[in-house]
A and B are shown apart, each in its own frame.
Chain A
Amino acid sequence: MTRRGFFYRIWKWLAVIAGLEIAGISIAFIFTGKRKEQKSDQLKVLARIEDIPPGTVFPYRIGQLYLVRLKNGGFMALSLKCTHLGCSIRWYDDSQKFICPCHASEFDMRGNVNKPPAPRALDIYKVVVEDGLIKVDLGKRIKRTKFEKSQVTFA
């Protein structure tokens, strides 16, 4: 290799490295500058136990969730966001199911998928029952594939 070719190659690689550095710095800047997700463990009191009889679904839209009391008395907090593409699901009392307005996915009271295209059960929030109060941890949305008994909190 000639000396000129050698230097040319060095310059080329330096340019590539510099380019990558600039791209890396930009992405790091955008990513860390923007991420302010609350990861708190703050429990929010939503209701008293006696306010919510078994078998009812109670919207709490500010927190973007539904507080559900199953027929057996257990509590769940289901995210409003459809797992398909993120529209807000709605509870229909007469047919006893959640329906998504966007592509018509359906979920049962426990958040399980009744009808696709939604690929998995609704996300949940942790529910804690203390002193007769129902508290929900709004800081963390928990993903799941389908309903399991351990997701239910009993009074």
Chain B
Amino acid sequence: MPNKQIKEENNYFPESVRTRNVFRNLILHLHPVKVRRASLKFTHTFGLGGMVALLFVLQVFTGLILRFVYLPVVDHAYESILQINQSVFFGQFIRNIHHWSGMLMVILTFLHLLRVFYTEAFHSPRRSNWVIGVVLFILVIFSNFSGYLLPWDQLSFWAVTVMTSMLEYIPWAGGWLAQLIRGGSDVGPVTLLNFFTFHTALLPMSVVILMAFHFWKVRKAGGVVIPGGKANPDKEYINTVPHLVLKELVVALVLVGTILLMSVFFNAPLLEKANPALSPNPAKAPWYFLGIQELLMHFHPFFAAILIPLLFVGMLFWLPYSRFDKMSLGIWFVSEKGRKLCLRVLLFTIVVVPILVLSNEFIPDMIGSASGWKAMVLEGLVPFLIILVVLWVWVIILYKKKKYSKNEIVQAVFTFLVISYLTLMIIGIWFRGEGMALMWPWKV
């Protein structure tokens, strides 16, 4: 079989035998020789995982180039970015590519996670790979966040000040952890060096190792999920080269083209040099953390910045190991009923969350200057428990009265949480202006 296989493939590479072999070798390190035809449908995966992998390669290349000029020292960091922008050949362009593909990487990794979730691809035999994926998602976010500090402008300095202060609200270990990451009690020279090391060594290295693991597990599970899993009627296998590889090339070209165009027309932001004595007004975290920053306006910091995010991540890890009624592998939204429920939850959430945010403006803060435990209970525990109870009652009704399956209910709750976060994030990005007051986007 292999001989015939190779012959067939060779026709697609008109170069010399040598190049052909090298190229095929590379591909076949990542892909099996044959894949199931049913797995190639674009709308099963949208090619999202592959796009993220490509973006990572792009980040490593552009990051490496930036490192030749960038200086991770407080007195020179900002100036070296200015130099990249102004006097290095293609400096601004390379920096733009790094910036925009860093941003796209966060978005696409998140979409990839959603795709895997809604096609129920986290069941056995892909359980451990889902866990690896969640870790990768966290690493990508922190890769972006650690890069955020490096330009050392007002944007990056204050975003990191706010984010690292959140750690201090972790009971017992928080102060210590914040000190360790910052290398002191304020963001300063040591923080910059720490973040540079995270950003250009520790995190990319971890990502590479986990990515290798991730791909290997995909192969071990017999490729990506397909509707019905093994029971899918289309049993045919087709050659990876050219069928899969051509599709990948098209996706890659479109993605790279998009990034190049963005980088030609839009410059990565750079404000004035960081000034520790003067917070810009408003001072915002990076956009992907603005949902948390918005939560901070309504909840005690321990709940907003620590407990709620940790619970959510914990749920993601535990998800594949909980018991489900059925394994609806590879079917978007489990069923037609599940899809409709998700749609209703979506509409409900994008209406209710802004109403809650608005109503909190008009209910004066209950506690005045209550401090310590009292604030934690009134501004944290009480609203948190109220939301939990409402969610719980809703789940019971869905299960007992409306006879939804567990798969559909888990999906609905997940949708509610994710859309809540995205709504809060959008409010944080576009509807919060000076003094963090609510206002219309064109006034921000």
Chain A residues with CB under 8 Å of chain B are 27, 30-31, 34-37, 61-62, 64, 80-81, 84-88, 90, 99-104, 112-117, 119-120, 141, 145-146
Contact = CB atoms under 8 A, between A and B. Distances in A.
Interface of A is mostly: loop
Given A102-B279, A116-B365, A145 B296 contact: no
A86 B184 contact: no
Interface size class of B (residues with CB under 8 A): 35 or more
Given A115-B365, A145-B371, A61 B278 contact: yes
30 contacts: A27-B180, A30-B183, A31-B180, A34-B184, A34-B194, A35-B183, A35-B184, A37-B184, A37-B185, A61-B277, A80-B277, A84-B301, A85-B161, A85-B296, A87-B162, A87-B279, A88-B277, A88-B278, A101-B436, A103-B297, A103-B436, A113-B369, A116-B375, A117-B296, A117-B379, A119-B372, A119-B375, A120-B371, A145-B372, A146-B371
Contact of B281 (A35, A101, A115, A145): A101
Interface in B263-287: 276-283
Identify which of B283, B300, B370, B434 gathers the most chain A CB atoms within 10 Å of its CB: B283
B273 to A, nearest CB: 15
Contacts of A104: 297, 435-437
A102 B436 contact: yes
Given A85-B301, A88-B279, A119-B375, A102 B162 contact: yes
Contacts of B165: 84-86
B375 A101 contact: no
Contact of A64 (B164, B277, B296, B301): B277
Given A104-B436, A119-B372, A87 B283 contact: yes
B17 to A, nearest CB: 46
B369 A116 contact: yes
Identify which of A102, A103, A113, A115 gathers the most chain B CB atoms within 10 Å of its CB: A102
A101 B162 CA distance: 12
Nearest to B191: A34
A50 B165 CA distance: 38
Given A101-B279, A116-B367, A34 B190 contact: yes
Interface of B: 158, 161-162, 164-166, 179-180, 183-186, 190, 194, 276-283, 293, 296-297, 300-301, 365, 367-372, 375, 379, 434-437
Given A37-B185, A116-B365, A145-B372, A99 B277 contact: no
B144 to A, nearest CB: 20
A119 to B, nearest CB: 6
Identify which of B162, B184, B371 gathers the most chain A CB atoms within 10 Å of its CB: B371
Contacts of A27: 180
Nearest to A89: B279
Nearest to A146: B371
Contacts of B370: 116
A125 to B, nearest CB: 14
A95 to B, nearest CB: 12
Nearest to A101: B281
Nearest to B161: A86
A150 B166 CA distance: 30
Nearest to A81: B186
B84 to A, nearest CB: 27
A120 B296 CA distance: 15
Given A37-B185, A64-B277, A88-B277, A101 B371 contact: no
A105 B139 CA distance: 32
Identify which of A86, A87, A115, A146 gathers the most chain B CB atoms within 10 Å of its CB: A86
A85 B190 CA distance: 19
